[in-house]
Amino acid sequence: MIKKMLFTLAIAILSVFTVGAFQFSPFEQTFGTSGVDTQKTYTIVNDSDEDIAVRISVVERDMDELGNEVRGQVSSNEFLVTPSQVIVRAQSAYVVRVRYRGPSVVTTEKAYRLIAEQIPYSTTTSKDQSGAMFNFLYVYVTSLYVSPSRENVSVGIDSIAARVDENGNQIMDVTIRNDGNVHQILSGAKLTVHDARGLSVVVSGSDDLVDIDGANILAKKTITKSIPWPDGIGFVEGGSYRGSLSYEE
């Protein structure tokens, strides 16, 4: 399975400290449960003219039934981050080492977020032209997985339902099940829907497959996404529909 970079979140937070921006990479890494793959490195690059402080932490990553991300605490014994907090001098780089120390037998991929968070650190203050002190702190949220020894990919449509929402719009609720033991990104997704009369329609593209095209479905998760009812197939609230899903692997 081709693993693709998800995304990086850069959150700008108003602050009363003088700080500089930084870069953090890589954005996604997969750890093994034994051997050299239990340890990976990350690089912090401070290309500003100010020293900065960065805190690195790992949180558990899960999904609710609507596909929203849910984060939880990780046992202190599961990962060792060295160092977990660092001062990075101006115009320099620093390498952080992360070691997985959890169970050596993993049958279903474990998903986490590794977060590099800039924290206040300053010996001076700066002011804008109005005299108010300000600047930005940045947070990088990256993907971290611990892989099983054998991967099984199995993602499909569990059910298709027709309903009318509170605004009177015709909606298709698409329930997607990942029976595989690794996450799957639904890049280039195409949804084929069949009704009870044998008519069918193919829905594709991020505009029509809202929150489905490009979605990351974690291992052993079932989620429901709602899209506008597509043209080309009749709407029957409570009717019988079947669906199939294809995507780039």
Tell me: the pLDDT tens digits for 210-231?
999 999 999 999 999 999 999 9
| The token pair that represents 79 in the structure block | 């990962």
- Residue extents of the structural domains in the chain: 13-146, 155-246
Q: Mean pLDDT over residues 23-30, rounded?
A: 97
Taking only the tens place, the pLDDT of each residue in 88-111 is 999 999 999 999 999 999 999 999
Same fold flag, 13-146 and 155-246: yes
For residue range 133-159, list pLDDT tens digits in order. 446 789 999 999 999 989 999 999 999
Q: How many whole angstroms separate alpha carbon 20 and alpha carbon 9?
A: 17
DSSP of 65-124: TTS-EEEE---TTTEEEESSEEEE-TTEEEEEEEEE-S-S--SS-EEEEEEEEEE---SS
Is the pLDDT confidence value at 60 over 60? yes
The per-residue pLDDT for 134 is 47
| Dihedral sign (CA 73, 79, 82, 88) | negative
Determine the pLDDT at residue 123. 62
**Which CATH fold would you assign to the domain 13-146?**
Immunoglobulin-like (2.60.40)
Round to whole Å and give the CA distance between 149 and 140: 29
CATH number, domain 155-246: 2.60.40
This prediction's pTM: 0.85
